[in-house]
Each structure stands twice: as C-alpha cells, then as structure tokens.
C-alpha cells in the first residue's frame, strides 16, 4: 500500500477475514446519505480538494440526448490537466497501481495517461439507494462467503467489513434490470492486426428488479440470467452461451450451457467458471475476468487492504463515442491513449490470495474498486511465480438514462505475450437498450438453441 489508507492497520487486521456479522446498526446505517453517500462512499472531498465532494452524481441526461443514441460527453470542454508518461511516472506512483507502472515500462514511447478534473458522476435510481440502506442492517455472508442473504436490489454491504463484502458489492451493483447489448471485441497481435468478434447479449438482473423481495430471491436463488450469441465473424457465428448465476453458490453452483454450431446441440457447461479461458477471447482472459470479476469467490482468501486515491478511467465518453472507428482505438500494445480520460478517485483495495489446495492461473489478484459505484476499475493479476501476469482496466461512464455507472470497454493486458483483449467495443454498433423486456423464457436451453441457429 503506497498511499492513504483511511482505515487503520489495527482495524484492517480485524476485518481481513469473512464475517457472518456484517449487519450494521440503525445508527450506523443513518450515515448513508449524510456523511456517507447513499452507496457508502465518503461524501466529502479529499484533503487537497483534488477529489471533490459527491453532490448526487449525474441526475439527468445531457441536453439533446435521446434513448438509443451513444451518450454525448457532458464534459467535452474539460481540458487535460497533466499527462503521466514513463518519464515522469515516479512523480505520481503513490496514486498508481503496480500494473499501471508496468504498462509504462513495457510501452515507454506510446503509453500515457491524460489526467482530467475529477467528476464524481456515479448515480443510481432512488429505489436502489433505499434498498441499499435497508440491506445495511440485514445483509450477511453465507456459505463461508460463497453467497449472500438478506439483500436485494442495492449493494448488500455499503459499509464493508472485509474484502469479500467489497467484492460482493461489485458483483451485485446495479446495472439496470433488463438489458440488451451489441458489443464487439478485438485481440490484436503484437503488430496490431485483429479480427473483430461481434456479439449480441441479453441480461436479466433478477436481483435488481424493483419488485424483488428477499423471499423471492431465497426461493429462486438466482442473481441474473445472461445469454451471449456470436454474430461475426462467419466462422464463429451462432456460437452461444447461457448462464444462470446463483446467489448462494454453495447451495447451487452457477448453471451454464453452450450451443455449438457444428454439433447443432446445446450442452451443459459446468466448466464455464474460474480460470477456464473466456469465450472467444483468444486465451487472453479467464471466465471470472468477465466484468473484471464474476462468479464464486470460493478459491481465494480475500483481504481488505483499505482505501487509496488512484488514477482510474472515469467519464470515458470520448472513448465511447460513435464518432470513433475501431481502428482509431485498437492500436499495437494498448488502446489509443488519446481517447482515455483518467481521474483521481478513492478506491477500495482488495487482495485475493489463492487458498491452499485450490487451483487457478492467478495466484494473487489485487482489485481497485471505485467507492462511488462499486465498479472494479483496475485489477492486477499475478501468476504462480508471483510475477505480474495480466492487468485489467475498466473504462467507466454514467449511462444517464438509467442512471448507472458501468464500463463501456474492458481491456485485459497480457504482459507475457504483450497482447491485449479489448472487450465491449460499441462505437460502430447499436447502443445498449436498458428498456428491454426480457422474461425468464428468453433464458432456457431451448431459447439458446434458437438464438444460436444461423
């Protein structure tokens, strides 16, 4: 830890292990919306004012915006305050992760970070704030941290007491209710050439539905349904994946099915989890890298390090713009840094250490989670030799028609091959539809087969 930790070392030792006693008192919960934001972040500015106070985030859409559009940049007039390069990175290392420092070293002539004014734009609907406050006094970990009970709709642990609670906040953060997306990904060679893989995705967030009750969640043990169908290139078109994610993964692990166009049949896929290579990822990410981290946390011990002020991608509307073509973004070594907006934000730092006897290609993972949105913004992954292996970066923005803070692009850097996967490219495609009307019938093996047939 090389910067501010707002929790003392003594307290952090006490909080490093999972606890079933996560509930806070009514008096503590009353801080939500007063000295803390409704999501549990520190409401006040930092000491030197470089991180402002949270004032509610973005509350309405930008003038001229209509649903279905790419999101115009509310801050297009902001100027770059300074640029971090390999030459001056040591000046800023207190606010950089080890992975960020390594990227400067690997690409000293091309990698840089344009730093802008910090704008705390994260926001969600009022019903999510209300649910989060209710969760604070009743949510708890179950199954030795492999599940959560006593929570619905909002984040379960707005005042986290250990690393597992922080990670569950990321997994259960609000991203809408029914969402349709069309996203692309590119895995360029070291020279920069790539084949674009296009996917169509549907997500039904059971946990986040405004009408969802604790009894319903307990009865169904379902967090969300996810369906992905590859639409391009032709050789992969029709390949499809269906996932039913559970709330208590000890009681019932994740359920998954795949559709193979060659065999023209649906198969159960229990291996769609942990460090199985991610679908159509060219081996550059694991299954549990998707969304920066997903799935069961059971293979790791989770340590809450504390809070730190770090430069993370934020308000990346320029990178999200439909005025850009993919070739302008996808460059050799890393994406084009001219389109990335970096800001200083407070983040929770969580270290995951592989348990003895467990297997994963990542022995250690360090996550940096934005305090305002609970989005994992950065992740450093280490191999079994304790060497930095991969660096993941989530480029977030506020989808203000919902509203929700979510990534527009996730980039997974493989330091050994000097390649990367850019996942979520949407500049040349249609925009997310947060008004989709999806039923559970959209997420059956039969529906998967229908979706996969060319």
| Burial of 190 from C-beta contacts in 10 A (0-12 / 13-18 / 19+) | exposed
Strand 147-149 relative to strand 178-186, pairing: unpaired
Instruction: Render pLDDT for 54-75 as a digit per residue (tens, 0 to 9).
Output: 999 999 999 999 999 999 999 9
| Percent of all residues in the chain with a pLDDT value above 90, rounded to a whole number | 92
Residue with tokens 């009750």: 213
Burial call 329-344: b when 16+ CB within 10 Å, e when fewer: bbbbbbbebebbbbbb
Q: Tell me the pTM.
A: 0.94
Q: Give the model confidence (pLDDT) of 244-254 as tens digits.
A: 999 999 999 99
Q: Given a cut of 70, is residue 1 above it in pLDDT?
A: no
Q: What does the alpha-carbon distance between residue 363 and residue 373 come to, in Å, rounded to a whole number?
A: 27
Provide the 8-state DSSP code for 429.
S
**Please, which pLDDT band fits residue 453 given cuts at 50, 70 and 90?**
confident
Closest-CA residue to 147 (of 167, 131, 161, 132): 167
Sign of the Cα pseudo-torsion (217, 222, 223, 225, in order): negative
Q: How far apart are CA 328 and CA 330, in angstroms?
A: 6
Q: Spell out the residues 6+ positions from residue 235 whose beta carbon is closer than 8 angstroms to its own.
A: none
The pLDDT score that the predictor gives to residue 452 is 80
Q: What percent of the chain has pLDDT over 70?
A: 95
Report whether pLDDT(454) > 90. no
> Is the model's pLDDT at 14 over the cut of 80?
no
- Return d(Cα 367, Cα 241) in angstroms, integer: 27
pLDDT tens digits, 187-240: 999 999 999 999 999 999 999 999 999 999 999 999 999 999 999 999 999 999
Q: Which two tokens stand for residue 118?
A: 């910090």
What confidence score (pLDDT) does residue 261 get? 83
Predicted confidence (pLDDT) per residue in 116-155, tens digit = 999 999 999 999 999 999 999 999 999 999 999 999 999 9
């Amino acid at each position: 830890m090389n910067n501010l930790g707002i929790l003392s070392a003594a307290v952090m030792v006490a909080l490093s292990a999972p606890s079933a006693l996560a509930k806070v008192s009514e008096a503590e919960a009353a801080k939500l919306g007063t000295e803390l934001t409704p999501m549990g972040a520190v409401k006040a500015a930092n000491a030197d004012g470089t991180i402002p106070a949270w004032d509610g985030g973005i509350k309405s859409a930008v003038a001229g915006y209509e649903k279905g559009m790419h999101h115009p940049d509310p801050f297009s007039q902001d100027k770059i305050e300074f640029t971090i390069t390999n030459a001056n990175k040591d000046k800023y290392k207190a606010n950089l992760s080890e992975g960020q420092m390594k990227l400067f070293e690997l690409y000293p002539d091309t990698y840089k970070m344009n730093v802008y004014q910090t704008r705390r734009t994260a926001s969600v609907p009022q019903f999510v704030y209300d649910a989060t406050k209710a969760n604070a006094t009743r949510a708890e970990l179950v199954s030795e941290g492999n599940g959560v009970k006593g929570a619905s709709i909002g984040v379960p642990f707005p005042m986290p007491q250990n690393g597992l609670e922080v990670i569950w906040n990321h997994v259960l953060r609000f991203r809408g209710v029914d969402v349709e997306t069309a996203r692309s990904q590119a895995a360029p060679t070291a020279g920069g050439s790539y084949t674009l893989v296009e996917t169509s995705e549907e997500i039904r967030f059971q946990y986040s539905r405004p009408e969802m009750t604790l009894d319903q969640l307990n009865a169904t043990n379902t967090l969300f349904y996810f369906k992905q169908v590859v639409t391009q290139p032709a050789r992969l078109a029709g390949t499809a994946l269906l996932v039913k994610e559970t709330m208590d993964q000890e009681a019932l692990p994740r359920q998954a099915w795949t559709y193979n166009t060659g065999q023209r049949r649906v198969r159960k896929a229990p291996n769609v989890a942990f460090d199985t290579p991610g679908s159509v990822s060219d081996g550059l990410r694991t299954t549990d890298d998707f969304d920066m981290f997903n799935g069961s946390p059971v293979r790791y011990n989770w340590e809450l390090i504390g809070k730190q002020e770090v430069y993370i991608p934020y308000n990346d509307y320029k990178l999200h713009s439909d005025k850009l073509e993919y070739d302008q973004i996808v460059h050799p070594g890393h994406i084009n840094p001219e389109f990335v907006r970096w800001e200083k934000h407070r983040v929770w730092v969580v270290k995951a250490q592989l348990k003895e006897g467990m297997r994963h290609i990542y022995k250690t993972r360090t996550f940096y989670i934005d305090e305002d949105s609970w989005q994992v913004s950065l992740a450093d992954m280490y191999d079994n030799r304790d060497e930095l292996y991969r660096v993941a970066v989530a480029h977030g923005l506020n989808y203000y028609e919902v509203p929700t803070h979510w990534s527009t692009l996730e980039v997974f850097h493989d330091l050994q091959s000097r390649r990367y996967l850019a996942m979520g490219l949407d500049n040349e495609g249609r925009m997310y539809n947060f008004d989709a009307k999806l039923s559970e019938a959209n997420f059956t093996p039969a529906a998967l087969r229908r979706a996969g047939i060319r």
